[in-house]
Amino acid sequence: MPAPDMTAPDPTLPDAAAADAETWRVAPGDDLRWFDGAEEAVLFHSGSGETHLLDGDAAEILQSLEARPGNAADLVARLVPAALAPERAALCGRIEQCLREFRRLGLIEPVPR
């Protein structure tokens, strides 16, 4: 699994501000299969045929989107419900970065408005 170059601009991807507002989902028809460990997980993505090693946080975010679509704020609310307002902004930023990487790998897509 080649690591994506996060520094390269990609016009097809939303910027950080837009990502917060965008609602994401796993592409309908794509099957995600998991091999979970204590701190990491392996993911098989039927859409690309690729296998990825994810850290625990990334796996949790993607599994949440697999369960139902959401944006970064939704994901913070679902995954860290006890987070205080100042923490939420930082968490949103980290989740947005993760969402951009998922998008780059073809694991998620924006929900049509």
Partner 1 sequence: MSAGIPPAGPDRARAPVRLADLSEAELSRRLRGPGLALPAGPFTVRLTSPLEEIAAGLGLLYGGHPLADGGADDPEGYADFHLRVAPAGGPRRWVRPQVGFFLDGRNPFNLLPAHQAFPMYEWGLNWCIVNLAHQFLIIHAAVVARDGRALLLPGPPGSGKSTLCAALIHRGWRLLSDELALISPADGRLSPLVRPVNLKNESIAIMRAFAPDAVFNRETPDTAKGVVTHMRPPAASIDAAAETARPAWIVFPTFRAGARTALEPVPGPRAFMRLADESFNYGLHGGRGFAAMSRLLRGCMVRDMAFGDLESALAALDGLAREAPAEAAS
Which of residues 20 and 66 has its CB atom nearest to partner 1 in the complex? 66
Give the DSSP per-residue string, 5-60.
Answer: -TTS--TTS--HHHHHH--EEEPTT--EEEEE-SSEEEEEETTTTEEEEEEHHHHH
The answer to the question of residue 44 lying near partner 1 (CB under 8 A) is yes
Shortest Å, Cβ 55 to partner 1:
9
The answer to the question of residue 57 lying near partner 1 (CB under 8 A) is no
The answer to the question of residue 33 lying near partner 1 (CB under 8 A) is yes
Residues that bind partner 1 (CB under 8 A): 31, 33, 35-42, 44, 46, 49, 51, 53
